[in-house]
């Protein structure tokens, strides 16, 4: 019995694709063994913004704000609204995590208090719920008792990249300002600069 040439070609093609797929699966490697690492240890695995950069920047800003005379000498902890750090770079940087890290450390210092701006919508809903007769009188929460903020904490991240030959220099600068709500003055400010150097590795073809 003769075999159809078209069928043979199709069968060979299917068999080749299956073989290639199995070969790919056989050579694919997965991360299977893990261990805890020190989050403070600096390792420059690539030329991107990393957690070590974030830690260094946050530490500088925190120390400066706590030591600022308007904060350190205040009769009671000032109330602050924090704005997300603006990303003025071309790189994807998690400025939300950076903002959260700075705010968390400042709260723990006991030197400032923060208004939870992000939950204002939820607070409004709860005030309406409380006022609707759903909550017992002694525990009802009413509008008009919130504390006004004394300061706004805001900032921005900028960067500059230079590449000459095999050398690449990356410069980051974080600037943070504490703005007086009543007088619109910048009472505290600080910046942190980080500069990193990378060498391009030749790839053998």
pLDDT in tens, 80-130: 999 999 999 989 999 999 999 999 999 999 999 999 999 999 999 999 999
pTM: 0.72
State pLDDT tens for residues 122-153. Answer: 999 999 999 999 999 889 999 999 999 999 99
pLDDT at 45 over 60: no
State pLDDT tens for residues 181-205. Answer: 999 999 999 999 999 888 877 655 5
What's the rounded Cα separation, in Å, for the pair 106 and 190? 14
- Superfamily the domain 46-135+145-199 falls into: ABC-type transport auxiliary lipoprotein component (3.40.50.10610)
Tell me, what's the pLDDT at 155? 96
162 by DSSP, 3-state: which? Answer: strand
Phi-psi region of 184 (alpha: psi -120 to 50; beta: other; left: phi over 0): left
pLDDT-above-90 percentage for the chain:
60
User: Which distant-in-sequence residues (6+ apart) come within 8 Å of 45 by Cβ?
Assistant: none
User: Which distant-in-sequence residues (6+ apart) come within 8 Å of 159 by Cβ?
Assistant: 88, 89, 90, 91, 170, 171, 172, 173
- Per the CB < 8 A criterion, the answer to whether 41 and 51 are in contact is no
**pLDDT: which is higher, 79 or 3:** 79
Tell me, what's the pLDDT at 198? 81
Tell me, what's the pLDDT at 161? 85
Mean pLDDT of 32-55: 66
Tell me, what's the pLDDT at 5? 54
The domain locations on the chain are 46-135+145-199
C-alpha pair distances (Å), 164 with each of 26, 76, 152, 161, 197: 41, 52, 40, 10, 11
Tell me, what's the pLDDT at 197? 85
């Amino acid at each position: 019995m003769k075999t159809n040439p078209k069928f043979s070609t199709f069968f060979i093609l299917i068999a080749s694709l299956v073989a290639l797929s199995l070969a790919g699966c056989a050579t694919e490697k997965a991360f299977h063994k893990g261990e805890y690492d020190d989050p403070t240890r600096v390792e420059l695995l690539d030329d991107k913004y990393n957690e070590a950069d974030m830690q260094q920047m946050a530490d500088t800003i925190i120390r400066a704000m706590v030591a600022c005379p308007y904060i350190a000498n205040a009769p009671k902890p000032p109330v602050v609204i924090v704005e997300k750090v603006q990303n003025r770079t071309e790189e994807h940087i998690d400025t939300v995590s950076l903002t959260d890290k700075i705010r968390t450390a400042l709260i723990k210092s006991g030197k400032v208090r923060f208004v939870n701006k992000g939950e204002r919508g939820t607070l409004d809903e709860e005030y309406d719920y409380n006022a609707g007769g759903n909550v017992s009188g002694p525990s009802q929460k009413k509008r008009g008792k919130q504390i006004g903020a004394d300061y706004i904490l805001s900032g921005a991240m900028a960067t500059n990249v230079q590449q000459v030959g095999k050398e690449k220099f990356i410069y980051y600068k974080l600037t943070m300002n504490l703005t007086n709500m009543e007088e619109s003055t910048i009472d505290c400010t600080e910046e942190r600069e980080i500069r990193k150097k990378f060498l391009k590795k030749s790839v053998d073809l």
